[in-house]
Amino acid sequence: MATAQRGSVDLQGIPSARGKRFALVVSEWNRHITDALAQGATQTLDQLGVKPEDVEKFAVPGSFELIHGCRVVASSLEYDAIIAIGSVIRGQTAHFDFVCHGVTHGIAELNAHGQTPVIFCVLTDDNEQQSLERCGGKLGNKGDEAAIAAVKMAQF
């Protein structure tokens, strides 16, 4: 579904999400990137019939904290799907690898054992430019794609 290969996201054939509720759990780290991803997700949900009051945004400090944030939100059973939004940019230490592995594993565990689907919208890029290209730049907005996945999983 990569938007880079097809231009903007095609919403034809995507089911309506009218009446569904969604939560966005968004990392504050690299906020300029995560806010753009959240905006893309929100706009796509709106285009798919979700009312603004049916999308709730929760902030967590960083991508690693997405796991706990999503678990708490999912435990409420108030949402049809949750989108975990984060951005991890490679630095000069192994910290990048530990965070990426941990958050990926944590979100996978939530999906394996929880009732509410949690969509993985965490950019794991080598540099800031790659992230900018994926949050509304020339490679599209991965938030759009995450919203589509959330709608499909909410219908599942």
In degrees and rounded to multiples of 5, residue 44 shows phi and psi of -70, -40
Which pLDDT tens digit goes with each residue over 123-138?
999 999 999 999 999 9
CA–CA distance, 152 with 156 (Å, rounded to integer): 6
What is the Cα Rg of the chain in Å? 15
Crossing angle (nearest 10°) for helices 66-75 and 95-113: 20
Q: Is 95 a residue of the active site? A: yes
Across the chain, what does the average pLDDT equal?
A: 94
Domains in the chain, start-ordered, CATH in brackets?
18-155 (3.40.50.960)
pLDDT at 114 over 80: yes
- pTM, to two decimals: 0.93
* Under 8 Å between Cβ of 12 and 44: no
Place of tokens 């965070």: 99
Which pLDDT tens digit goes with each residue over 18-41?
999 999 999 999 999 999 999 999
CA–CA distance, 94 with 96 (Å, rounded to integer): 5
pLDDT at 11 over 70: yes
pLDDT computed for residue 7 by the predictor: 53
State the catalytic residue, choosing from 32, 68, 95, 105. 95
CA–CA distance, 148 with 113 (Å, rounded to integer): 22
